[in-house]
Structure 1
Amino acid sequence: MASLTASARWSTKAAAKSNSNTLLRKWTVFMESQSESKTLWFLVSLVVQGVFFLPIPAVLIYYYDAPVLVLVLTLTLFFANIIAGMGGAGIKTLLRLFAASIIIHTLMVLVCVL
């Protein structure tokens, strides 16, 4: 009986130790909480990319003489999101792709404009 009490204490300590409030942990909790609205996030991702991100290569290439790699990256990220969403990927994959797309496009704009 003593071993059951010791293991219960050990698991409580381990759970308390892993409950740190880091930014990565908060992001993971947020992704897991959005599992019911996976279709909504897929549609939001497609609309944001279609309206804001797909015109970026045209502007950067025409006005700022950006390399064609900008177009390749934009289309790759766009089609990766479509394939992941329609292929039944999990919510974590969809949100990570969407976040990566936002970060990469922001960096491309900053690098080409500045």
Structure 2
Amino acid sequence: MAIIIAGTVDVAPEARENTLLEARPLIEAARAEPGCIAYAWTADLSEPGRIHVFEEWASEADLAYHFTAEPYQQMLSHLHGAGIVSAVTQKYRIDHAEPVYDPEGRPRADFFTA
């Protein structure tokens, strides 16, 4: 069962750009880990200093491996060195996924293929 991690990390606005640039090799290393489907950090265009985190892992075992991998440990050090103001992340188990748009191109809030 896939797992999504989504959240935000806030740093001082003047530190955000360098925080993202210096994290790039660690992000690339995480993307190469087994079971990593997606791993992205992006700047929030409306909130100075805010970084959005999005990860998708193929399984709980893959996520557990990630948490023990060296790039994750380095990322923690990197973030603490950047001066985290706040951080909120959640993990979600995915039991069903389907397109937002139906075959006619209409957005659907319901799960129409289940």
For Structure 1 versus Structure 2, the TM-score category normalised by the shorter chain is: 0.3 to 0.5
TM-score in terms of structure 1 length: 0.32
Larger radius of gyration: 1
TM-score in terms of structure 2 length: 0.32
